[in-house]
Chains A and B, each alone.
Chain A
Amino acid sequence: MIQFKNVTLKYGTHAALKGVNFQLPKGSFTLLEGHSGAGKSSILRLLATFEQPSSGDILVGKSSIARLNRRERAHYRRNVGYTGMDVELLHNRSCFDNVALPLRVVGLSDTDIQSRVKAALARVGLSHTDRMLPSELSGGQQLRLQIARAVVNRPALVLADEPTAQLDDESAARVVGLLEEFNRAGVTIIVATHEAHRFNRVTHRLKLGEGAVLPAPADLSHNGGREAGVQTFSKDFLNKAYGA
């Protein structure tokens, strides 16, 4: 379970997130929606531990990831797959080497690396690119390569920041299909997007505005949180509220 407890994130005097509360169950598929600057990416960055909250607490499972030291943070990241602008591909390394990086970090054997990278590349439909450089791929292919790198370590949580942005319909559908496929396998997925209509297998939605989770209409909301002030959204609610 992922839980944000009154989380505030400030950059100088500007608050990107203001006292955000929510909780998401394990294995869920969550969309973070909202306009630019609403705080979607900040939530992903906090969950990836690229940022630390200015106040409040973030629980993943039973651990507070807001209080991890540098070493613990590094080990936590091994269980999180991230795709987005914050973790670019290395353009001087082959596609194979890019996808293999998370496995090199944990010290897997060459045999295991070979088989897992090939499987990950096959899963995203890029088997033929293993010797190519990322710069030789299209935008959509690069994104799929990022997804392959994000999931090759079999993480429990995948965070995707605008995974369908600037993709044509076919490429976007393929990326969405991949994320949904991983979710079916039990991986918790959180996606920050402007293109909610592309996603079908959504269990939770968080609508953000001005750094806060916007309250859902009273007649449709379902407060399933176990703690006061924690908002969760059922699939029924989401269907009614957003027509997903």
Chain B
Amino acid sequence: MRWLRLQWFSVSAGLKLWLDEPLGHLFNALVLAIALAMPWTIAQGLSAIVPSMDRWVGDPEISLYFKPDATLDSVKSAAAQLKRDFDLDSVNIVTPEQAMERLRTQSQTPDLAQALPENPLPYTVVVVLEVDATTDTQAIEAKIAQWQNFTGVEHVQYDAQWVRRLQSVLNGTQIIAMALAVLIAGMVLVVTFNTVRLQLIRNQAEVHVLKSLGATDTEVGRPTLWWSVSLALVAFGLAYAVVSGAMGLADDAAGTFIREFDRDFRFEQPSGITALGLILVWVVLVMVGAWASVKSTVLRIH
């Protein structure tokens, strides 16, 4: 009971700090909110742009063109071996007839297909690779060199540059996301440390009196810790409003244009799960900054 009473006293004393200087504390919350909202907005924007780029670019295809005299059986056998050896989910066999039909229906020059006396197109095996930031492009190229030696294979077509470019984009966004996370953490720790330090210095008369009356350093600092939690929650609310607003505006402005190329594109509001996860990390970060500040500042107030 005593422990609960002490905690309740700390919580209420922490919340009462808002009454001492509401506008000043609101500005403190605003500073924290900006520190959170800036990288959060960028990360939220990237979370919409990256999948869209991925959809737009598509996964790279590798086409194995067989010699004109290759039979369907030899192609099927090569396809089965491919699937087995390289652990592929699926390989797609395109017959010369299917290839000609595509040429007729999807090509810009259907007349060319009509003009051909006979079907010159070979059997083709099409493999779709799933590329992400960790894909080893050198390993892919080594595989392709092996495929080149398959019986009946005349040519393997693979756009290595395209894959590398896509991979560097994915790598880049991953690095940006990590840099943003580190930036958020660093800014939050510094801003919170300083805000709490100033708050304690402003209240040093009270800190001094409490210590003189027998409060331990932990007990003296506890209201400030609770105040910092409330500050973090207010700042998070403000940042959430900023990010939601920014995503809404961006979707109205840029989203309409981007949807010309990608129908599924949306600058979305932060999801509930994202917000919940972020709020936990955010509060913990603020508390760490506040705790470090309380530890060092309370020690110096005699």
Which residues in A have some Cβ–Cβ distance to B below 8 Å?
Answer: 48, 50, 70-71, 74-80, 82, 86-88, 90, 92, 101-102, 104-109, 149, 153
Q: State the Cβ distance, A68 to closest chain B Cβ, in Å.
A: 12
Q: Which of A71, A87, A107, A109 contacts B213 (CB 8 A)?
A: A87
- Contact A105 to B214, CB < 8 A, known contacts A50-B302, A92-B20: yes
Report the bound CA distance from A149 to B219 in whole Å.
19
- Contact A77 to B214, CB < 8 A, known contacts A87-B209, A90-B205, A90-B209: yes
B2 CB within 8 Å of chain A:
yes
Are A107 and B2 closer than 8 Å at their CB atoms?
yes
Q: Which residue of B lies closest to A84 (CB)?
A: B212
Are B5 and A74 closer than 8 Å at their CB atoms?
no
Which 4 A/B pairs are nearest by Cβ-Cβ distance?
A: A78-B214, A77-B214, A107-B2, A74-B216
Q: Which residues of chain B are near A70, meaning CB under 8 Å?
A: 216-217
Q: Which residue of A lies closest to B9 (CB)?
A: A104
B91 CB within 8 Å of chain A:
no
Are A105 and B217 closer than 8 Å at their CB atoms?
no
Q: State the Cβ distance, A89 to closest chain B Cβ, in Å.
A: 8
Report the bound CA distance from A107 to B20 in whole Å.
23
Are A107 and B9 closer than 8 Å at their CB atoms?
yes
Q: Is the interface of B mostly helix, strand, loop or mixed?
A: helix
Q: Count of A-B contacts with CB under 8 A?
A: 61
Q: Which residues of chain A are near B2, meaning CB under 8 Å?
A: 106-107
Q: State the Cβ distance, B128 to closest chain A Cβ, in Å.
A: 66
Are A102 and B213 closer than 8 Å at their CB atoms?
yes
Other CB < 8 Å A-B pairs besides A80-B214, A104-B9, 15 of them?
A71-B216, A71-B217, A74-B219, A77-B214, A79-B214, A87-B209, A87-B213, A88-B209, A92-B20, A102-B214, A107-B2, A107-B3, A108-B5, A153-B213, A153-B214
B54 CB within 8 Å of chain A:
no
Q: Which residues of chain A are near B209, meaning CB under 8 Å?
A: 87-88, 90, 101
Are A109 and B5 closer than 8 Å at their CB atoms?
yes
Q: Which residue of B lies closest to A76 (CB)?
A: B214
Q: Which residue of B lies closest to A82 (CB)?
A: B212
Are A106 and B212 closer than 8 Å at their CB atoms?
no
Q: State the Cβ distance, B55 to closest chain A Cβ, in Å.
A: 60
Report the bound CA distance from A90 to B213 in whole Å.
12
Q: Which residues of chain B are near A76, meaning CB under 8 Å?
A: 214
B215 CB within 8 Å of chain A:
yes
Proximity bits, B1-20, A CB within 8 Å = 1, else 0: 11101100100000000001
B67 CB within 8 Å of chain A:
no
Interface set, chain B 173-230, CB cutoff 8 A to A: 205-206, 208-217, 219
Report the bound CA distance from A149 to B213 in whole Å.
9
Q: Which residues of chain A are near B208, meaning CB under 8 Å?
A: 87-88
Are A101 and B210 closer than 8 Å at their CB atoms?
yes
Are A90 and B216 closer than 8 Å at their CB atoms?
no
Q: Which residues of chain B are near A88, meaning CB under 8 Å?
A: 205, 208-209
Q: Which residues of chain B are near A50, meaning CB under 8 Å?
A: 212, 302
Are B213 and A77 closer than 8 Å at their CB atoms?
yes
Q: Which residues of chain B are near A107, meaning CB under 8 Å?
A: 2-3, 5-6, 9
Report the bound CA distance from A153 to B9 in whole Å.
17
24 residue pairs of the A-B complex, CB under 8 angstroms, read A71-B217, A74-B211, A75-B214, A77-B212, A77-B213, A77-B214, A80-B214, A82-B212, A87-B208, A87-B213, A90-B205, A92-B20, A101-B213, A102-B213, A105-B213, A105-B214, A105-B215, A105-B219, A107-B3, A107-B5, A107-B6, A107-B9, A108-B5, A153-B213
Are A86 and B212 closer than 8 Å at their CB atoms?
yes
Q: Which residue of B lies closest to A75 (CB)?
A: B214
Q: State the Cβ distance, A118 to closest chain B Cβ, in Å.
A: 19
Q: Which residues of chain B are near A149, meaning CB under 8 Å?
A: 213
Q: Which of B9, B205, B206, B213 contacts A78 (CB 8 A)?
A: B213
Report the bound CA distance from A50 to B214 in whole Å.
11
Q: Which residue of A lies closest to B211 (CB)?
A: A74
Report the bound CA distance from A90 to B209 in whole Å.
8
Report the bound CA distance from A201 to B215 in whole Å.
32
Interface set, chain B 2-59, CB cutoff 8 A to A: 2-3, 5-6, 9, 20
Report the bound CA distance from A112 to B230 in whole Å.
29
Q: Which residues of chain A are near B210, meaning CB under 8 Å?
A: 101, 105
Are B205 and A74 closer than 8 Å at their CB atoms?
no
